[in-house]
Amino acid sequence: MNIRVMKTFCDVVDTGSFSKAAQEAGISQSAVSQQLASLEREFSTQLLSRGGGLVVPTEAGKIYCQAAREIVRRYEQMLGEMRSAADAVRGVLRVGTIYSVGFYLLDPYIRRFLQSYPEVNLRVEYTRWNRINAAVLSGEMDLGVVAFPERQRSIDIIPLANEELVMVCAPEHRLAAREVIDSHDLAGERFVAFEPNVPTRRFIDRMLKTAGVQIDIAMEFDNIETMKRAVEINSGISVLPLDNIEREVAGGYLSCARFRNATRWQRQIAILRRRGKGFSPAEREFLALLRTKP
């Protein structure tokens, strides 16, 4: 059993590419091909299907990949715990974050942590909220950072920050000159929204429904960056976190207005961790850093 080969196989499945997996592993593409060919000989079955420029796992490959992920995760966890035995801040720390929080709120903290603890292998994955919940529960991630965390028996929720949500529109929109608006000002507007299952979308829907405001959903996306581009070209207005749009507002690409009842238009950001799991020194220091100002 070779942990590196397992990791390389999973990288090929994740990227769909031998060359990208080789780059991730720091080896040649030929070496990756040889490793995976050896695996298939060992198990006497095809693990990957190649064709049309795509590399996808067979049913047997899916089974192997799922088991390999768990073995690699446990191996890395073991290494982290062994290196942390002397209470040194080192080892592996796996953090999952939704894109909007990772790129804006977390980024300065991550930079400071890497500078302060260079011996820690900090792995930050930018992904969707439901992927983070599942990964924290399974132990694949040590910490997860999400908006509007859902309470679960096996998950501890640590409050991190509250982000103000504001109305965002193109500079030529009729609401662009407003600094403060009411919810009713959004009635009938074309709206660039998060996808329906995104927690921030559910919060916005509840707020508008409570106010008796109906909007026209023009587009739905799963990430803020694409939503901002759609609003910039006046495809509709949106409601987004203030710190996510300040750069575009300063550059004149977007306009924004705060809600009159701004204290109610707040997005709760929290840290998730599996309940009952011990704290490694690296995790303890990272959490302490998040409680300070960047």
* All domains of the chain in start order, with CATH: 1-83 (1.10.10.10), 164-266 (3.40.190.10)
**201 contact partners, CB below 8 Å, separation of at least 6:** 193, 194, 195
According to the model, what pLDDT value does residue 50 have? Answer: 79
Q: With 70 as the cut, is the pLDDT of residue 48 above it?
A: yes
Q: With 90 as the cut, is the pLDDT of residue 22 above it?
A: no
pLDDT digits (tens, 9 = 90+) for 205-239: 999 999 999 999 999 998 899 999 999 999 999 99
According to the model, what pLDDT value does residue 32 have? Answer: 85
Q: What are the φ and ψ backbone dihedral angles of 288, each rounded to 5 degrees?
A: -65, -40
| Distance from C-alpha of 162 to C-alpha of 14, rounded to nearest angstrom | 33
CB burial of 80-108 (b: ≥16 within 10 Å; e: otherwise) equals: beebbeeeebbbbbbbbbbbbbbebbbee
Mean pLDDT to the nearest integer, 71-83: 79
Q: With 80 as the cut, is the pLDDT of residue 294 above it?
A: no
pLDDT digits (tens, 9 = 90+) for 32-47: 888 888 888 988 999 8
Q: With 70 as the cut, is the pLDDT of residue 274 above it?
A: yes
pLDDT digits (tens, 9 = 90+) for 93-131: 999 999 888 888 888 899 999 999 998 999 999 888 889
| Distance from C-alpha of 189 to C-alpha of 219, rounded to nearest angstrom | 12
> For residue 261, what pLDDT band results from cuts at 50, 70 and 90?
very high
The residue ranges of DSSP E strands in 127-196, in sequence order, are 143-147, 155-169, 180-181, 190-194
Q: With 80 as the cut, is the pLDDT of residue 194 above it?
A: yes
According to the model, what pLDDT value does residue 193 have? Answer: 96
The number of CA neighbours under 13 Å toward the Cβ of 293 is 0
| Distance from C-alpha of 69 to C-alpha of 94, rounded to nearest angstrom | 14
- Determine if the pTM surpasses 0.75: no
Mean pLDDT to the nearest integer, 166-183: 96
* Cα diameter, the chain: 68
